[in-house]
Structure 1
């Protein structure tokens, strides 16, 4: 079955209607990675002459150069060039989950038109690198994947709006508060929990950690600029618990009110130099070449109705979770590991 991917594109247009070639952003990204225009042009799949023309057109469009070329020192982005590059990275990180959900809806609509009635698994879960792997491994089972907070996911499960709901449970004492928040949403008689993955969360810091950030208390230092996750996210709940445990007031954290909606968006914000630290998973830090300070391990779990486990679609889902290909893919993510993956757990044993 053909699968559609929804990809956002930029459009730079001035008041006169002049528009930039979108290939320019790909070239800027390559210049940032490679440091030489010849290598950047090759990576972008264009000639050196065309690369020069794109940079010239970009400089004329904005009125300032986007790349600085120096004899013997290669090429590097100007201040505006870096700004454009990181703005694109942040936008992609912000829009990614919504576009994945939209792509899921479109693929299901196409499949229904082509095949009629389908056996579909509806999964509501917070966005994460391991969850992103599922559509690639569930080829035989159409997945309706919608991203939302753990509380929203469990509420959807209770009203019958989804078949599987993802939620997070930090290990150790710090998880006590989070565990209590699930008491009314997870019901021992109705629900079962499916083991999924464990992941490490911590502070995402600039490459080389120039401010010497060491732990959660470092966030209260006057010079540290922080970027947060949204209030409803499981990652934000974990951070709030860690701050409380360390006796750090959120009022002392500069930038605590600034929120992003994914781990990658937080990392992109730090990589752009707009913050010195954020909170998220190690995979996001490595994706943007940043430093990472581990602070907590949490289990990412899946909940369902106990009666659903007898259905063929759930048996296929569990087979994928228990299979070596999926678990190897999870193990390849920095800071991630399979944890009781595909194992059925009683709610009472968990809470």
Structure 2
């Protein structure tokens, strides 16, 4: 199957019409990630001399330095250079799900024309890290497929409406499992469905390095001076956070920024890393990628839901082979906060969730 890639590109135009070079933005991001301009040049395959030429041009365009030499530290980003780095990371974090969905749709349209007889495996799921690892493996296989990124409720509703074959959603392990299962129950009981286990992941609070606001639990989000960035309604993460706040008896209206939403874990992490919020709630992987502190809260299982008849399809069987294989599992195990144990295991709803199990029969009353 052909792979379509779409990357976000942005720029700043000066009064004279000159534009900030994307190559310069990439270099500034490289300095942030690698710690020095020399290392950034090596990673980007750019000469050190040309890099400084780009930086000087950027300085002139912006009217202030983007990078300065510091004794004993080499070249370091200025506050303005740092803002450009975080602008780039926020843009990529916010737009990647949209662009990846569009890329997958284009791949599917190309596949329909080039291989019109091949059935298309349609997968609706959130833009998560294990899901991305699965998509990467599917692209390397011969399985024609289409990914559409959406919230968990939207995904299971799409499956119920027969718009897709597989729908991704997460269920926390432990005390909140019954409430989350009940939330999805209207869709789970519509047909004879089966669950395909994908991964276990950690959810928790993302905070600035060193946790300067001393945010350790959901009730701390309501303190004065704490700014929060939320996930959108309909996402599994938002549902879990709502349950945590109910348990802590914290009214959402008390949390500054509660109604401000982003659509991915990476986007909320980028928001905190840029200094525009003090905390977010999400999975551990982007917290580590953005060098944030992470306070774990709950572990949850991520599943793909499907009609049990779909398990007979060749493409679903190939997907199960990928999930059970060492390459996919090694990729997921390499993600901070993720475990791939049991990936590819097929479960019935009653087997996976105690609240779906048949109620035990009571003992018959003894006759007197």
With over 3 angstroms needed to count, the CA separation of the structure-2 counterparts of 1:210 and 1:304, relative to structure 1, is same
1:121 equivalent in alignment to 2:121: yes
Aligned partners of 1:299 and 1:339 also within 8 Å: no
Number of paired residues?
351
Larger CA Rg, structure 1 vs 2: 2
Secondary structure of 1:185's counterpart equals: helix
Shift of 1:272: 0.8
Q: Equivalent residue for 1:20?
A: 20
268-277 vs 182-191, greater mean Cα deviation: 182-191
Distance 1:118 1:30 in 2: 42
214-223 vs 264-273, greater mean Cα deviation: 214-223
Aligned partners of 1:188 and 1:346 also within 8 Å: no
Deviations 1:140-187 (A, max 9, x none): 212200011111111111111100011111122223322111111012
Distance 1:35 1:104 in 2: 35
Which residue, 181, 184, 207 being the options, matches 1:182?
184
Distance 1:72 1:110 in 2: 54
Distance 1:342 1:220 in 2: 40
1:298 equivalent in alignment to 2:288: no
Q: Equivalent residue for 2:29?
A: 29
1:264 equivalent in alignment to 2:266: yes
With over 3 angstroms needed to count, the CA separation of the structure-2 counterparts of 1:326 and 1:33, relative to structure 1, is closer
Shift of 1:189: 4.5
Q: Equivalent residue for 2:225?
A: 223
Distance 2:225 2:81 in 1: 26
Shift of 1:113: 2.8
Distance 1:224 1:180 in 2: 32
With over 3 angstroms needed to count, the CA separation of the structure-2 counterparts of 1:348 and 1:43, relative to structure 1, is closer
Q: Where in structure 2 are the equivalents of 1:20-99 lying within 5 Å? A: 20-99=20-99
Shift of 1:73: 3.5
Aligned partners of 1:187 and 1:347 also within 8 Å: no
Secondary structure of 1:240's counterpart equals: helix
Aligned partners of 1:13 and 1:20 also within 8 Å: yes
Q: Equivalent residue for 1:131?
A: 131
Tell me, which stretches of 5 or more residues in structure 2 are unaligned? 357-368
Distance 1:78 1:285 in 2: 23
150-159 vs 317-326, greater mean Cα deviation: 317-326
Secondary structure of 2:55's counterpart equals: helix
With over 3 angstroms needed to count, the CA separation of the structure-2 counterparts of 1:36 and 1:341, relative to structure 1, is closer
Distance 1:43 1:188 in 2: 52
Aligned partners of 2:14 and 2:62 also within 8 Å: no
Q: Equivalent residue for 2:257?
A: 255
Shift of 1:227: 1.1
Shift of 1:188: 6.6
With over 3 angstroms needed to count, the CA separation of the structure-2 counterparts of 1:187 and 1:82, relative to structure 1, is same
Aligned partners of 1:174 and 1:245 also within 8 Å: no
Q: Equivalent residue for 2:234?
A: 232
324-333 vs 235-244, greater mean Cα deviation: 324-333
Q: Equivalent residue for 2:343?
A: 341
215-224 vs 79-88, greater mean Cα deviation: 215-224
Aligned partners of 1:188 and 1:347 also within 8 Å: no
Deviations 1:287-319 (A, max 9, x none): 111111000111111111111111222221222
Shift of 1:36: 3.4
Distance 1:309 1:73 in 2: 57
Q: Equivalent residue for 1:199?
A: 201
Distance 1:327 1:37 in 2: 35
Distance 1:115 1:200 in 2: 40
